[in-house]
């Protein structure tokens, strides 16, 4: 498994190569399913673009529940304001470290390409 710090390094490099600057460990308020807002801390976020990510490790699972992740995914699929937050669960990163890094790079590059194709960034 790739550690959170290793994942952040790989993911931040992909965003940077695409000209997107992210603020690390960013507080973020989100309202899942029209409920009261909850406080999240995103691993990386760009407030101007409303784009960011969270690499979910064991310690994050109390906040980034399945419901919250589903609602973030739903908002991300919308073309109406977002937020556009890519969540990546560590359980999906298999193989040796170079293979896992490549998987992470592909996940984020696909995310950025999708946002570009929709005119979000």
Q: pLDDT 10s digit of each residue in the chain, 121 long?
A: 788 888 999 999 999 999 999 999 999 998 877 778 989 999 999 999 999 999 998 888 888 988 899 999 999 998 777 899 999 987 555 556 788 888 899 999 999 999 999 999 9
| Rounded-to-integer distance, Cα 51 and Cα 115, Å | 9
* Sequence-separated (6 or more) residues with CB below 8 Å from residue 56: 64, 69, 87, 88, 89, 90
Q: Confirm if 47 and 27 have CB atoms less than 8 A apart.
A: no
Digit-coded pLDDT (tens) for 102-118: 889 999 999 999 999 99
Q: How many Å separate Cα 106 from the centre of its chain?
A: 13
Pair of tokens at residue 89: 């669960």
* Sequence-separated (6 or more) residues with CB below 8 Å from residue 77: none
- For a pLDDT cut of 70, what percent of the chain falls above it? 94
Domain boundary assignment for the chain: 4-114
């Amino acid at each position: 498994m790739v550690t959170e710090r290793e994942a952040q390094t790989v993911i931040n490099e992909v965003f940077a190569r695409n000209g997107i600057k992210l603020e690390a460990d960013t507080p973020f308020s989100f309202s899942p399913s029209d409920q009261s807002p909850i406080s999240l801390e995103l691993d990386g976020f760009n407030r101007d673009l409303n784009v960011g990510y969270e690499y979910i490790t064991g310690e994050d699972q109390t906040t980034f529940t399945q419901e919250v992740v589903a609602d973030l995914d739903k908002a991300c699929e919308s073309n109406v304001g977002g937020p556009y937050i890519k969540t990546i669960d560590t359980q999906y990163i298999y193989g040796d470290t170079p293979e896992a890094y490549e998987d992470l790079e592909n996940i984020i590059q696909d995310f950025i390409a999708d946002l570009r194709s929709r005119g979000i960034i």
